[in-house]
Structure 1
């Protein structure tokens, strides 16, 4: 009979030997990657797990870890997460090179965690994203956006009424009123719904209310490796939460799809300005499931992101009365003080508003970071570093937007940094709010027009007052960047009782 002392040793060898053999095999088949990775500075990595221990922390601390590595190793740093090589690139010129290269034209593995919710497509990549984007693109172009401004103005009128009804002595979080407005704007334009239908979409209130919760689930899954183990995912209740979200999103998007299918049977829709759902239906190139996935993708990336940015612009104006004065006076001078609809062309003339808008995009990045997969070797850092095929490229947009090498006092809110003379002195590649290249933000023209029109219509009638100090503004940095305690402010009417505009 085998000794009880020998049996554990044999078992240990039986378990560890295949692991060791596989490790040797992996190193041989990835020798080119390992060779090139040595040329990139980074922390020492343990066998098998790499640098995973560094990132075993709270999700909101993950990007701080990346920032610390960049501070220590410079604008290029290497991180091994198990067998996955991640190279973080912070140099603005190389960021442009990489994001516009056809060698780096696929989303990184982090986006795979979104696929159970939105499938493969415009946001997550895969085989279909180019075609899906091509079909949707006309709904975001300048001609369509000019047509959509009538909806933006109409919904802005309703939002102003809500803000004027607030008690001027009470501080509130603007975001919740703003997102209701942007949701209606998106439903009546990109989704193609009538006003009546947009107010009666199945589960829409639940989806809008739970959007941040959905993002939190995704971010935790991305950053807590143990939640990627099926048993732990199930035991912690995360799997049930994921399935509840999928069911909710399916009900929401199914109703939108059904509403537009019924409408297309009786409506004549102008092809130049139709919404994305109609385009997908009429193309005949997507399954119903693909349409529903892209519907939610473009819905949430349009209404939620626009609400955050618009709220951020107004938050900064509330805290910077001199800039609120500049923007308001520019509106009165160029567009007039009367509460009339404004166009996309008119808001382009407002230079002070544009500076505050851009500073908001810098300070509150739409995406804190983006990830791509390197498909072919590509050199950076003047040829000193070559990114091997199979590498996950990480672009830390939030850190680039706060790099003191390019931004004076980067932690302060300073719209003047976007004055023409200041822009000339700065590397133009240090500002990448909408990403770059073929996979850049599809809705940048749409969102810019929507946000600026809402701000103009609000400032004409509403005076804003901040709560606390911008110097004490705590940020929540996850998938996007936002104020940890919300977009808090007070509002009151600009008009005196006799109807004359109040001077700031």
Structure 2
């Protein structure tokens, strides 16, 4: 025993010394990159703001502090993260077939979303993507148009109860609408969120987003055993029980209903039906179904509600843009109550507005990749294992691609004004082979909801653009509520 303990201590000290030496070598190799002053092991941990708004300000500040080349190195504890924010610098990443692994931050999502198409490494992602891509075929998505219209009209009716002087917290009511839509499209289940108050699922989604963002920025609580001892860790577990309890219950009920029907796939199918059919045919197991359903529930309503909120705030600050949208809606829709596939293809200006809103306020502000091989970026060889922070928020503000990037101008996306723009200057849904599988679903849903709102109402933003600041979480949400006033239009269709 007298020999074993000293041997263990010596071995431990040797390992720590070796890891520290290896860390110093990595720091030396990356020393020529743009970066604020940092320290070994703790990195920038002593100066990183723990709150989402403060962290957002720091990240944006780094972008403006190092404008050429548009990249800088951040150390989150001992982990080097190279932030890229130009179309030219992100291009080799998105066009690579090798650097498809997500960064370490996505491991924080696994307790909630499992090993899903969002969180999995490239080896597991490839077969998942191949398997799930047909479920997002346009022929399937267009069958969801009646759901989009129905829930959007419920939202319109709800908005009709407000007076013209009332100030509406638009994110709160939009979120319930998108939750109803994703429940019905992904699980074939109507939950009536728009008619309920204080929906606990919405609370759990928003809360767990905040908790995961805080945890990602603090290496001291990355370890599960440590995190579970904190108050945030206990709240995280409460959120997981709510989120998983809801989806597990619906999956079980849907599976039982399909078994009774002998797995006859008739009528409009929800994504869950298609996934359970894959289980029946042996293409995936039930654990995979849980992970993908939770991912759909998160990405399918949270990103969309944020995107719609930002779009309405921007539209409400620009009356001339709103009038052009409404003129297009009146011409295309006429007296038709519902938006159809034929209408969608004719919403040219509305699509420009949505794209410009996603440029200025992308629903997902940053995505993370981990280099699987050494990669030359901006003329510098970045070693394997370094995480990349692809800052979509700042890519969309690259002055070489966007004139007056802080100005809201939907005309940027007219065909004649898009000539010569770099293909990776606009990446709200990521890009390349690992882009967002649900981007077409999201754009169709947002078009339908905006069309139904703006054909019935004029919206006026209470707060100007600069007063509503974004915060850096998994999803980019406003720091404070976004308030709108609405007034009934004359050229409307009555339901």
Length-normalised TM-score, structure 2: 0.88
Equivalent pairs, count: 479
Structure 1, 429-438 or 277-286: larger mean CA deviation: 277-286
**Alpha-carbon offset, residue 297 of structure 1:** 1.0
**Alpha-carbon offset, residue 330 of structure 1:** 1.1
Q: Residue deviations 1:431-458, cap 9 Å, x none?
A: 1110012221111111111110111122
SS of the residue corresponding to residue 77 of structure 1 reads strand
Q: Does 1:282 align with 2:280?
A: no
Q: Residue deviations 1:120-160, cap 9 Å, x none?
A: 11111235333333333223221111111121112222221
**Alpha-carbon offset, residue 422 of structure 1:** 3.0
**Alpha-carbon offset, residue 192 of structure 1:** 2.7
- For 1:113-124, list aligned pairs within 5 A: 113-124=108-119
Decide which of 34, 46, 71 is 1:53's aligned counterpart.
46
CA distance in 1, matches of 2:58, 2:466: 23
**Alpha-carbon offset, residue 257 of structure 1:** 0.3
SS of the residue corresponding to residue 492 of structure 1 reads strand
Classify 1:141/1:36 alpha carbon distance in 2 versus 1 (closer, same or farther; 3 Å): farther
Query: Is 2:63–2:394's contact at 8 Å kept on the other side of the alignment?
Result: no
Q: Does 1:157 align with 2:156?
A: no
Classify 1:36/1:332 alpha carbon distance in 2 versus 1 (closer, same or farther; 3 Å): same
CA distance in 2, matches of 1:485, 1:56: 18
Residue aligning to 1:168: 164
Classify 1:387/1:331 alpha carbon distance in 2 versus 1 (closer, same or farther; 3 Å): same
CA distance in 2, matches of 1:447, 1:29: 42
**Alpha-carbon offset, residue 291 of structure 1:** 1.9
Residue aligning to 2:34: 41
Q: Does 1:418 align with 2:416?
A: no
Q: Does 1:251 align with 2:248?
A: no
Decide which of 222, 234, 239 is 1:228's aligned counterpart.
222
CA distance in 2, matches of 1:478, 1:21: 35
Residue aligning to 1:343: 340
Structure 1, 464-473 or 352-361: larger mean CA deviation: 464-473
Query: Is 1:373–1:391's contact at 8 Å kept on the other side of the alignment?
Result: yes
CA distance in 1, matches of 2:370, 2:350: 36
Decide which of 106, 114, 133 is 1:111's aligned counterpart.
106
Unaligned stretches of 5+ in structure 2?
1-7
SS of the residue corresponding to residue 463 of structure 1 reads strand
Query: Is 2:460–2:486's contact at 8 Å kept on the other side of the alignment?
Result: yes
Unaligned stretches of 5+ in structure 1?
1-13
SS of the residue corresponding to residue 190 of structure 1 reads helix
Q: Residue deviations 1:87-144, cap 9 Å, x none?
A: 1222312312202312211100011111111211111123533333333322322111
Classify 1:45/1:307 alpha carbon distance in 2 versus 1 (closer, same or farther; 3 Å): closer
Residue aligning to 2:303: 305
**Alpha-carbon offset, residue 246 of structure 1:** 1.6
Residue aligning to 1:190: 186
Query: Is 2:276–2:289's contact at 8 Å kept on the other side of the alignment?
Result: yes
**Alpha-carbon offset, residue 15 of structure 1:** 8.1
CA distance in 1, matches of 2:217, 2:362: 19
**Alpha-carbon offset, residue 294 of structure 1:** 1.8
Residue aligning to 1:144: 140
Length-normalised TM-score, structure 1: 0.86
SS of the residue corresponding to residue 381 of structure 2 reads strand
Decide which of 307, 322, 325 is 1:324's aligned counterpart.
322
Greater radius of gyration (CA)? 1
CA distance in 1, matches of 2:16, 2:302: 45
SS of the residue corresponding to residue 464 of structure 1 reads strand
SS of the residue corresponding to residue 79 of structure 1 reads strand
